[in-house]
Structure 1
Amino acid sequence: MPKSRLEAFTDGVIAIIITIMVLELRPPVGGTFAALWGLRYAILIYLVSFFTLAVYWNNHHHLFLIVRRISGRVLWANVLFLFTISLFPFVTAWVGEHHVGAAAPEMTYGIVVAATNFAFYLLIRCLSAADQHNAAFAQLVGAGYYKPLVSVVGAVVAIGLALVWPPLTILVDTALLLLWVRPERRIEAHVAQKESR
């Protein structure tokens, strides 16, 4: 299977997930700004989740810029990645509705983030095995690529922080995104150099 089909499928699934997530936002009861203010936590966690999915999509796209070959394991790793992000509408809605007094929604949100980070790390490892003769991939996303592991460990720590103060889980997971907001510059430089030849 060409990698373009996997990328197109992934793009479509992520677009659907984002659409489902926005449909979970309910209009306020009443026609006042005070009623809208009552939904501030639901809107805030939606923005965090939307930004999170945008960062995942952006980095997935950049990762596949340097991939030449995929395998069956890559397909399944990508499906696992899509499964984990498909849980975002559920956890986003739960956190938005129960943001005070309970740690379970934030902990569950953190578990989904940790699972997604692990799935992305697994996808990178499967791509590395499938495309092992691709020197550019090995050099740019090889064994020394620290961001996925830092994200997994940080997300696991964030889950436990919900027991201290539930919003800490969301804050730490959002801070971890700063590692990924700008996709790997070395990949961009490599692609630009290749295109200029």
Structure 2
Amino acid sequence: MPKSRLEAFTDGVIAIIITIMVLDLHAPEAGSFAALWGMRSVFLIYLISFFTMAVYWNNHHHLFLLIKKINGRVLWANLAFLFAASLMPFATSWVGAQHIDSYVPEMTYGVVMLLMDVTFWLLIRLLIHADRHNTALVGLLGEGYYKPLMTISGNVIAILLAFLWPPLTIIVDVALLALWAQPEKRIEHHVHHS
């Protein structure tokens, strides 16, 4: 089964998600710097969410550089990942609507991040199963590849930290996202030397 349609569909959905998020940015009521400053939390959460989607897209792209075969389970896992990602505009909008100190919107944002991490990890696992004779894929992302599980565990902690101080959820999520900001260098090294 060719992977090109899955990649094209994923690219399109992520582009739409980013577009929906930016469309939720509305001009201030007044034409002053004070009005713009009053919207700083809206711009900050948009920036974080844009960066989040960019990091996931980049890692998805790098992951599929290794892939030779996919199957129906991979298609469903990719759709599950895209479903989780499609919740990002809602979570971004709720946190940005001046609810930066409310723990329920922050926890919801954390749950969306957790869902994206879990479904991305599931996608990796099912890709390995579908393409199990791909020694590069199995060697680079198989047993001993713990980064997704570390991120999932960290996201659970981040969600619970909202009870202490709501912004901690997003602060921890951004710190965890930093682990993925640079896609797996071993993949790039393999692709450039094969």
- TM-score scaled to structure 2, two decimals? 0.98
Residue matched to 2:175: 175
Contact preservation (8 Å) 1:98, 1:105? no
Contact preservation (8 Å) 2:24, 2:93? yes
Residue matched to 2:152: 152
Q: Distance in 1 between matches of 2:79 and 2:96?
A: 27
**1:92-121 alpha-carbon deviations (Å, 9 max, x no partner):** 000001324421000000000001000000
Contact preservation (8 Å) 2:100, 2:106? no
Q: Distance in 2 between matches of 1:124 and 1:92?
A: 26
- 2:99 paired with 1:99: yes
Residue matched to 2:184: 184
Contact preservation (8 Å) 1:91, 1:109? yes
Equivalent position SS for 1:99: coil
Residue matched to 2:69: 69
**1:24-82 alpha-carbon deviations (Å, 9 max, x no partner):** 11110111111011100000000000000000000000000001000100000000000
Contact preservation (8 Å) 2:81, 2:120? yes
Contact preservation (8 Å) 2:66, 2:137? yes
Which residue type is aligned with residue 49 of structure 1? S
How far is 1:189 from its partner?
A: 0.3
The sequence identity of aligned pairs, in percent, is 64
- 2:38 paired with 1:38: yes
Q: 1:151 to 1:100 in 2, by over 3 A?
A: closer
Contact preservation (8 Å) 1:158, 1:169? yes
Contact preservation (8 Å) 2:49, 2:92? yes
**1:116-142 alpha-carbon deviations (Å, 9 max, x no partner):** 000000000000100001101000111
Q: Distance in 1 between matches of 2:133 and 2:101?
A: 52
Q: Supply the RMSD in Å over aligned alpha carbons.
A: 0.7
Q: Distance in 2 between matches of 1:167 and 1:101?
A: 6
Q: 1:100 to 1:128 in 2, by over 3 A?
A: closer
Contact preservation (8 Å) 2:158, 2:173? yes
Contact preservation (8 Å) 2:161, 2:168? yes
Q: Distance in 2 between matches of 1:100 and 1:63?
A: 34
Residue matched to 1:127: 127
Which residue type is aligned with residue 126 of structure 1? L
How far is 1:143 from its partner?
A: 1.5
Q: Distance in 2 between matches of 1:68 and 1:79?
A: 19
Equivalent position SS for 1:180: helix
Contact preservation (8 Å) 2:117, 2:152? yes
How far is 1:178 from its partner?
A: 1.2
User: Which segments of 5 or more consecutive residues in structure 2 lack a partner in the other structure?
Assistant: none
Contact preservation (8 Å) 1:95, 1:106? yes
Displacement over 4 Å in runs of 4+: none
User: Which segments of 5 or more consecutive residues in structure 1 lack a partner in the other structure?
Assistant: none
- 2:11 paired with 1:24: no
